[in-house]
Structures are given as structure tokens and as C-alpha cells.
Amino acid sequence: MNTILNINGISKSYGKVKALNNLSLKINKGEIYGILGPNGSGKTTTLGIILNVLNSDSGSFEWYGEPPSKYSRKKIGSLLETPNFYPYLSARQNLSIVCKIKEVSEKEVDRVLSTVGLINRANSKFETYSLGMKQRLAIASVLMGDPEVLVLDEPTNGLDPLGISEIRTIILDLATEGKTIIMASHILDEVEKTCSHVAVLKMGNLLTFGPIQTVLNNQEQLFVSSDNLDLLKLTLSQIDGISGINQVSNKVYLMLAEGKTSAYLNKALFDKGIIVSEIGVHKSNLESNFLELIK
Amino acid sequence: MLNLLHIEYKKLIPYSTFWMIFGLFFFFTPIVFYGAGQIKIEGFPIDFTTMYNFPNIWNNITYIASWFNLLMGMLIVILVCNEFSFKTCRQHIIDGHSKADFIVSKILLMTSFALICTVYLFITGSLFGFISGGNGSFTAQINYLLVYFIQALGYMSVGLIIAVLIRSSALSIIMFLFSILAETIIRTLVPDFIGQYFPMKIISNLTPVPTPEGMITEQMRNTIMQEEMWLNTTLLIAIIYILAFWRVAYFILTKKDIK
């Protein structure tokens, strides 16, 4: 069975607010599926429903082709919103409870604590942990029993830059092992660096979904600059294979058709008598595409 | 099932509130019971120390201990509300428990608490009884211990349902105490034959106020006989209430989102 999760038209309202509107989505084995959207777009609601803590108003979903049950959840490592542990118990005692629930070996506790770098603080009470350490412990709990499927909601929340990159490495390692990862995030950069597929939500509606390159049309954006910007723009518009011309302060941004390079652009401008003072590749236009999508 | 209870005790053993409340119960029940036997009322020729004698001791000690059952109810309120405020109920479901597992865990926990308290009363009662040296029957009224067990379970079940409904610790404790008061007020507004079936009334009636031995007249013996028959009915109704509370608690949990 290749389909891990199949969501059929789930809707959910909080009073008058429609948090999720008829969402359908299919996630296959081995995909790293990013659920992207601004705050309040329904990401956590979606994850809450597929993990049975929120009740949907209508629609259904299946894990591994079966109706949801506690047995399917035992095989999924999940982190939803905040790390939830008993403050008066140590990390080890807390994870030992998770062991019992997931019915996995107690040996897992030390393994996952080492993976997230908390083994030295294993016997400290959870309430003494910093925000970043709490988040690491939550990641540790997700890894318990080496699940085939992971559901992560804002996994790098509250972590310092080092922590973010460490968690990202853990996620990418898991991905290369062929695990399926469903990840909600409002941080585009995070999704861009880790996900193979993406679904974009806005106010409870699914705007688009599919492989990340297709959805966000991840094309490179170039910028050029010269003494006479008006002339530059006019000239650019006359050159073949250039689109999306857009001036921001003293730079003109544009996109090149496939197969064209910055050398082509430079030559074309030079041929038309324009000396370029600056030319370069702008960061990917993923962000602008995303912002365009959710506008 | 045992796995669920094991998880509950993993959470409890390091939890100081749990030890504090049980400590209060273990410490004060025998002291208050001893104290009650030392009461002397001037011009009232009754020797209260006869309350230590078998078989009456079982009625007497369970009556005294029943006051501490409110404490047990509050302990359950605190423990269940903790699961919501720490969001561990939510996490347990995410990790692979069902909502039924949550309720069953708490039922097992309450049953074990009630059992611990009952066994403790059995031991304390036996000690008092043997030391006081009365020669009444040890077993004649030992059924009061069973009745006490059901009462403890009853108060805790009320705690469970309030905690699952309200989820906030402070508010739930207030509601728990208020529900007893509120029921008393409502009872004054309805006819007695209805009022006597109200849940808190039924549960508190399980440990009837004992009558000191010296005060029993022939006429009273009749009433006491009737009371004992009534106790069996009360017990049955209490058990039905408790089962209903568990079912409703589960229903509330499945209908509400777990945030």
C-alpha cells in the first residue's frame, strides 16, 4: 500500500469561523509533505483532526488505508504545537510513559535522548528545561520506536539557529531512510529546504498542492542595474525570453526563460548599447510566489 | 488494563500532591476516630469509647472516614485537570491512546484509590477493635467497608465528570464543592421522595450517621433495621449513578475537542 494518509473532504468550524473547508489530500509513502500557510490558515487544525484530538464536522480520513485507530497512531511519531510533558517528571520519566503508550522498548529512551542531544540532562525535571530543550524533548518523543510516519507541527519552533539546523539534519536523515514526513510550517525557508511536496492553505481552503517545484514554480530571479534605469527597463522589454520585469529602488528584477543564462542577458543588453553596472542572481523567488499565492 | 494502571502510577509516584493528600488521609483518619471516642458530654451518660467495639466500629470508622472522601474526590479533580492543563491527555491520544483508554485509566486509578483507603480502614478498624477488647462479632457489620468503598468511588466519579467537563483545576474544585451545596439547596425545593434519590444524597447516605450504642432503645432498633434495608437499595442506586457518571464522562470527552 503506497498511500499513507488519505483525507476526504474534511471541514471544521469554530463557531462562525470556518477553520477548514472541505480539505482533501493524499500523501504517499516516502514523501516529505509540507503544509504551508500563514497563521490561522488551518494547518494545526488539519493535523489535530488526523491525530484524533479535534473532531471534524464532516469528511473522513484514513491512515494506511484503514479507518483511524489508536493502533495506527502508535506507529506515527507526532509533535503537535507545543511540547506536552509532566513538568514535575524528568525527561527520562516522561519518555518512559511514552514508551508504555507506544508499546516500544524502554531502550528507546536513551537512544532518542542521545539523538537530540539531551542525554546529559535526562534526569532533570521538564520544568527546568529551556524552551529549546523542551522542543528537543518533543522531537525525541516523536522519534520513539523509530516510526515510519512523522507528523511535525512547526518542528523548529523556539530553537536557536544551531538547534534549527540540527533538527533539520535529523529530519533530512529520516527522509533519506524513506520515512514519510508530514510537516506544517509557516516558515517558507524551512519547507523549501526539507520538503518534496507542498500543500498551501489559506483560511481553511486548499489553494494548491503537488511537488514543490511545480507548486511554487521555483525559478531563479535575476537583477540588473545601470545608470539609466528607465532606458534599461525599456530595453529589457524588447529582449526575448524575459518576463516579470519589476523595479525595486535602483535594481530591476526579472525572470529568464528556461535555458537562458545571465551571460545571455548581459550580452543582449551590451548589444543594445547598455552597460550594466551590476548583475546577479537574486534569491529564489519562492517567497514571492508564495506571497502571490496566498494574497 | 494493567498497562494503563502502570502508566497512571508512573505519573503519580513522583507527584507530591498525591502523597500529601494520602498522607492527610492516613494520618488524620485514625486520629479523628480516636478523638471522637474521647468526647464527653456533661450530664450525658454515654461512653463514646464503645464506638471502638466490634461490630459497630465498621459503621463508625467508615462514617468518620467518609469526611475524607471529599479529599479523594478533590485529588481526582486535580489529577484529571492536570492532564488537560499539561496537555498530556492530548499528547497521550496523539501518541496512541484512545479516549476510552483515558477514561478507563482514571476508573482503574479511582478503584485502586478506593481499595487502598478501604484496606487501610480495615486495618485501622481491626487494630482499634482488638485493642479496645470488646467481644462483639468481627464480621457482623463488615459490609460497611464495601459500602464505604462504593462511596469513595462515588465521590471520585463525581470529581471525574466535573474535571472532564470543566478541565480547569481551580474552577473544577469550586464546582465539585458547589455541586454538593447546590444539590442540598435544590433538594429543599423538591418533595422528599424525589430529593432522596439525588446523586450526592445517595452517595453521602452510604455511610449513615451512627447511633451511639447506649442510646439505642427498642423502638429505635426497628428504625435501624429499616435503615439497613434501605442501605442496600442506596448501594444499588449509587452503583448505577457511578456507572452513569463514567459513561457520561466518556461521552463528554469524545464530543469535545481536546485542546
| Domains within chain A, CATH numbers bracketed | 3-211 (3.40.50.300), 221-294 (3.30.70.100)
**CA B52 remoteness from chain centre:** 21
Q: Which of chain A's residues have a Cβ under 8 Å away from the Cβ of B9?
A: none
For residue A122, give the nearest of A102, A142, A136 by alpha carbon. Answer: A136
Let me know if residue B226 belongs to a domain. yes
Residue with cell 471516642: B37
Residue of B nearest to A103 (CA): B96
| pLDDT tens series, chain A, 295 aa | 589 999 999 999 998 999 999 999 999 999 999 999 888 899 999 999 999 999 999 999 999 999 999 999 999 999 998 899 999 999 999 999 999 999 999 999 999 999 999 999 999 999 999 988 999 999 999 999 999 999 999 888 888 898 888 888 888 888 889 899 999 988 787 788 888 999 999 999 998 898 887 777 656 678 888 888 888 888 888 888 888 788 888 888 888 887 788 888 888 888 888 888 888 877 655 676 777 777 7
B248 in a domain, yes or no?
A: yes
Residue of A nearest to B91 (CA): A84
**Residues in Cβ contact with B102 at an 8 Å cutoff, skipping those fewer than 6 apart:** B83, B89, B92, B93, B253
**B94, B99, B255, best to mutate vs chain A, most A CBs in 10 Å:** B94
Q: Chain B closest CA to A212's CA: distance in Å?
A: 28
Number of C-beta neighbours around residue B231 at 10 A: 18
Is residue B251 in some structural domain?
yes
Reported residue count of chain B is 259
Residue B22, domain member (yes or no): no
Question: What are the tens digits of pLDDT across the range B64-99?
Answer: 999 999 999 999 999 999 999 999 999 999 999 999
Structural domain span for residue B154: 2-8+49-255
Closest Cα of chain B to A129: distance in Å?
15
Question: If DSSP codes are grouped into helix, strand and coil, which group holds residue A183?
Answer: strand
Query: Which ranges constitute the DSSP H helices of A75-130?
Result: 91-102, 108-115
Give A97→chain B minimum CA distance, Å: 6
CB atoms within 10 A of CB B180: 16
CA dihedral for B144, B146, B147, B148, sign (positive or negative): positive
* Closest chain A residue by Cα to residue B8: A97
Q: Is B33 within a domain?
A: no
B192–chain A Cβ distance below 8 A for any pair: no
Q: How far is A207 from chain B (nearest CA, A)?
A: 26
Q: How far apart are CA B116 and CA B124, in angstroms?
A: 12
Position B23 in a domain: no
CB contacts under 8 A, B 232-251 vs A, are: none
CB pairs < 8 Å spanning A and B: 73
Residue A12, chain B, CB below 8 Å: the answer is: no
Identify the three-state secondary structure at position B132. helix
**CA pair distance B232, B225, nearest whole angstrom:** 12
Domain count, chain B: 1
Nearest CA in chain B to A98: B95
Check A101 against B7: CB less than 8 A apart.
yes
The number of beta carbons lying within 10 Å of the beta carbon of residue A210 is: 12
Taking contacts as CB-CB distances below 8 angstroms, the residues of chain A near B255 are 55
CB contact under 8 A, B11 and A86: yes
